[in-house]
Homo-oligomer: A and B are copies of this chain.
């Protein structure tokens, strides 16, 4: 299930912080998007790689530095999962309501 990998990737404060930064749409490099994370460069790089592996983030080498960007589409899969859960749940409430009303 691809959505598991997505949630897994989002389930870390450093990675979520990277995602937040990228969501602004400002141009980022590996260096800038991981700056100030209170872990080493290599630690941050690993988190970034997890985001890349989960297809939430894309890298593009550009001379000396590497451009980092968000793959917005990927979020839709997570959104779809949550919406589906909520929809089913709402159906349950609806079913419950109709039973009550049939009395």
Measured CB to CB, the residues of A under 8 A from B are 1, 3-13, 16, 19-20, 23-25, 70, 72, 75-76, 78-79, 82-86, 88-89, 91-93, 95-96
Contacts and interface: CB of A to CB of B under 8 A. Distances in A.
A74 to B, nearest CB: 10
Contact of A7 (B11, B20, B76, B95): B11
A3 B16 contact: yes
Q: Is the interface of A mostly helix, strand, loop or mixed?
A: helix
Q: How many copies does the complex hold?
A: 2
A23 B72 contact: no
Contacts of A5: 11
B8 A89 contact: no
A75 B79 CA distance: 10
